[in-house]
Amino acid sequence: MRLPPALLACTLLLCPAAVLAADPAPAATALPGPIVITEQSFKCIRDMTPVRGFFVDNIAGNLEGTLAVANSPTGGVYPPGSVVQLFPNEVMVKREQGFNPVTRDWEFFELDVSKEGTTIRKRGFADVKNRFGGNCFACHVQAKPEWDMICEKDHGCEKLPISDFAVKSLQNADARCDNSETPFSQKATDWMIRVLTPL
Ligand code: HEC
C-alpha cells in the first residue's frame, strides 16, 4: 500500500513540518499581531484623515481599507484597527474580527485630552457611557446595519443636540493639536463653545 505524502512525512518524524506545509496560506487581510490600544494610539483629531464631518485613522496600518468603507456610498464593514472620531474625547476603534459580536467588534473610548496628551477615562464595549450618562452603544446600534454602527446624520440614530458649527469648534479646540497658527478670535470662540457644550 502507498502512503499519502503527509503521512509518509509523519512516519519519518517530520510531522509538524508536514502539517505546516499543508496549511493554507494566511489570508491577505491577516493582521501582523493583536491590536494593542494605549493612550499613545490617540492624537490631535485634526491630524487624522477627514471624511465629511468626522476623522479616521487605522492603527493597524490599513488606512486605505478604512477610507474605502468610510467613503463607500453603500457602507460596509470597517477593517480592524479603524479609529473613528467626531469629538476629540470620544472614539470608536475596530477590534479583531469576532472580538465582540454584540458591538460588531467596536471598542468605545471616553478620553481626557490636554496639552500633555491623552488619558483613557473609560473603555469597553456595550457598557461605556459618555460623561453625560449617554451609552455609546445604545445610540450607535441604531444605525442601519450596512453602516456598521456609524451614525452620521442619516444612518438611523437619534440625533445629537449640537450644531455642526459647535462640532467644528470642539474639533478646533483639541488641546493636543498645535494651535499656534489659530487666530486669537477663533481660539476664544472655540473655547467658549467648548465650555458651554454638554459633550
Ligand atoms: C445620544 C446618542 C449618542 C451617544 C450617547 C453617543 N453617540 Fe456618538 N454619535 C451619535 C450621533 C447621532 C453621531 C453623528 C453626529 C453627526 O454626524 O452629526 C455620533 C457620532 C460619533 C462618531 C463619529 C462617527 C459617526 O458615528 O457618525 C463617533 C466615533 C462617536 N459618535 C463615538 C461615540 C462614543 C465613543 C460614545 C460614548 C463615549 C458616543 N459616541 C456616544 C450619537 C451618540
| Residue 31 banded pLDDT, cuts 50, 70, 90 | confident
Which residue's CA lies nearest to atom 23 of ligand 1?
86
The mean per-residue pLDDT over the stretch 118-124 comes to: 98
Give the count of beta carbons closer than 10 Å to the beta carbon of residue 9. Answer: 18
The mean per-residue pLDDT over the stretch 1-17 comes to: 47
Q: Ligand 1 mean position to 151 CA, how many Å?
A: 6
| Number of the ligand 1 atom closest to the C-alpha atom of 157 | 12
Summarize pLDDT for 163-193 with one digit per residue, the tens. 999 999 999 999 999 888 788 888 888 888 7
**Alpha carbons within 13 A on the beta-carbon side of 2:** 2
Q: Which of 78, 85, 86, 93 to mutate to test the pocket of ligand 1 (most atoms within 8 A of CB)?
A: 86
Quote the pLDDT of residue 1. Answer: 46
* 65, pLDDT greater than 60: yes
φ, ψ of residue 22 in degrees (nearest 5): -80, -15
| Number of the ligand 1 atom closest to the C-alpha atom of 53 | 17
| Residue 10 banded pLDDT, cuts 50, 70, 90 | very low
Quote the pLDDT of residue 23. Answer: 46
Q: Which of 90, 109, 146, 159 to mutate to test the pocket of ligand 1 (most atoms within 8 A of CB)?
A: 90
171 Cβ inside 6 Å of ligand 1: no
C-alpha span between 156 and 153 (Å, rounded): 8
The mean per-residue pLDDT over the stretch 84-98 comes to: 97
Which pTM value belongs to this model?
Answer: 0.85
Helix runs in the chain, H state only: 5-11, 15-22, 63-70, 136-140, 164-172, 184-196
Q: Which residue has the cell 451614525?
A: 151
150 Cβ inside 6 Å of ligand 1: yes
